[in-house]
């Protein structure tokens, strides 16, 4: 089974600065999807960004971008100009065959003012 | 537009009591439906998923069961709750079909078993 590893249980960033959250995954597939979800204190899961493995260009969504390294099976999330509202738990996820998502353990992001 | 509803939002139940959590999706047909559990401070574990009425796949052996009596309704149940069933339960959906990928989640149900 595929696995997703987030090696940083917690991260902190100063407001307005940049932070990168790490994610690695294990798969033998060549075509798949990767996601970052955000879970604020309300616990609502919110899609932040997604990446299709066959696309070489890294996905970006406003202040959020990814560094997708397919050969290394690495999928990190960069948050630029961090805001207090970015404080949340962030989950990396891999889409398995059959539309199931496998999630990493999560990284708690704290934003300091 | 599509919306997903999940209830109850909070539930406190004694050990050995039954459980029923309900999830419904509006604005779409034949969705894929999922139940995830999130233990305190941890990641999400897929419990069940369904690609159609009456079609349920279980990911892990456990004290829970799922049913899909209607196209857009997904129910998580237990006959007798255990302490270890405590957690945050999330229902999710995505469109059926090979190209579908993004999961949309409900607001979650917090279950405390005492």
* Residues of B with Cβ-Cβ distance to A33 under 8 angstroms: 101
* A98/B49 touch (CB, cutoff 8 Å), yes or no: yes
Instruction: Provide mean pLDDT across the span A70-95.
Output: 96
What distance, in Å, lies between the first and last C-alpha atoms of chain A? 41
* A47/B49 touch (CB, cutoff 8 Å), yes or no: no
Confidence check: pLDDT of B109 > 70: yes
User: How many whole angstroms from its chain centre is CA B101?
Assistant: 18
Find, in chain B, the residue whose alpha carbon is nearest to that of A93.
B44
Proportion of chain A above pLDDT 90, given as a percent: 77
- The pLDDT of residue A98 is 65
- The pLDDT of residue B62 is 79
Nearest to A33 by CA among A70, A80, A7: A70
A16 burial (CB, 10 Å; 0-12 / 13-18 / 19+) is exposed
- The pLDDT of residue A34 is 93
Q: What does pLDDT average to over chain A?
A: 93
Interface check for B89 against chain A (CB to CB < 8 A): the answer is: no
Interface check for B102 against chain A (CB to CB < 8 A): the answer is: yes
Q: What is the pLDDT of residues A16-25, one digit of tens each?
A: 999 999 999 9
- The pLDDT of residue A25 is 96
The sign one gets for the Cα dihedral A23, A24, A26, A31 is positive
* A50/B94 touch (CB, cutoff 8 Å), yes or no: no
The sign one gets for the Cα dihedral A94, A99, A105, A107 is positive
Residues A106/A90, Cβ–Cβ less than 8 Å: yes
* Residues of A with Cβ-Cβ distance to B105 under 8 angstroms: 44-45
Q: What is the pLDDT of residues B77-94, one digit of tens each?
A: 999 999 999 999 999 999
Proportion of chain A above pLDDT 70, given as a percent: 97
Confidence check: pLDDT of A99 > 80: no
Nearest to B85 by CA among B3, B14, B6, B1: B14
Instruction: Provide mean pLDDT across the span B82-111.
Output: 87
* Residues of A with Cβ-Cβ distance to B59 under 8 angstroms: 100
Instruction: Provide mean pLDDT across the span A86-93.
Output: 96
Find, in chain B, the residue whose alpha carbon is nearest to that of A94.
B101
Confidence check: pLDDT of A109 > 60: yes
Residues A73/A29, Cβ–Cβ less than 8 Å: no
In this complex, the residue of B32, B59, B90 whose CB is nearest that of residue A99 is: B32
Find, in chain A, the residue whose alpha carbon is nearest to that of B107.
A44
Cα separation, A24 vs A68, in Å, equals 10
Interface check for B94 against chain A (CB to CB < 8 A): the answer is: yes
Pairing of strands B10-13, B3-7: unpaired
| Range among A56-60, A99-103, B19-23, B48-52 rated most confident | B19-23
* Residues of A with Cβ-Cβ distance to B92 under 8 angstroms: 45
- The pLDDT of residue B100 is 54
Cα separation, B73 vs A36, in Å, equals 27
Confidence band, pLDDT 50/70/90 cuts, at residue B60: confident
Confidence band, pLDDT 50/70/90 cuts, at residue B73: very high
* B107/A43 touch (CB, cutoff 8 Å), yes or no: yes
Interface check for B86 against chain A (CB to CB < 8 A): the answer is: no
* Residues of A with Cβ-Cβ distance to B43 under 8 angstroms: 91, 103-106
- The pLDDT of residue B59 is 85
Instruction: Provide mean pLDDT across the span A87-113.
Output: 90
């Amino acid at each position: 089974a595929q696995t997703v590893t987030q090696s940083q249980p917690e991260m902190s960033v100063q407001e307005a600065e940049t932070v990168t959250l790490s994610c690695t995954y294990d798969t033998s597939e060549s075509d798949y999807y990767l996601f970052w979800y955000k879970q604020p204190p309300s616990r609502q899961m919110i899609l932040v960004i997604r990446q299709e493995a066959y696309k070489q260009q890294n996905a970006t969504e406003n202040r959020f971008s990814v560094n997708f390294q397919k050969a290394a099976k690495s999928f990190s999330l960069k948050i630029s100009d961090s805001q207090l509202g970015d404080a949340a738990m962030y989950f990396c996820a891999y889409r398995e065959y059959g539309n199931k998502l496998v999630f990493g353990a999560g990284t708690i992001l704290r934003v300091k003012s | 537009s599509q919306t997903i509803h999940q209830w109850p939002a909070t539930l406190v139940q004694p050990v050995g009591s039954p459980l029923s959590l309900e999830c419904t999706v509006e604005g779409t047909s034949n969705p894929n439906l999922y139940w995830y559990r999130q233990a305190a401070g941890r990641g999400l574990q897929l419990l069940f998923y369904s690609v159609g009425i009456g079609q349920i796949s279980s990911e892990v052996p456990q004290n829970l069961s799922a049913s899909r009596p209607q196209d857009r309704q997904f129910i998580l149940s237990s006959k007798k709750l255990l302490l270890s069933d405590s957690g945050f339960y999330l229902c999710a959906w995505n469109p059926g079909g090979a190209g579908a990928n993004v999961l949309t989640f409900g607001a979650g149900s917090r279950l405390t078993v005492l």
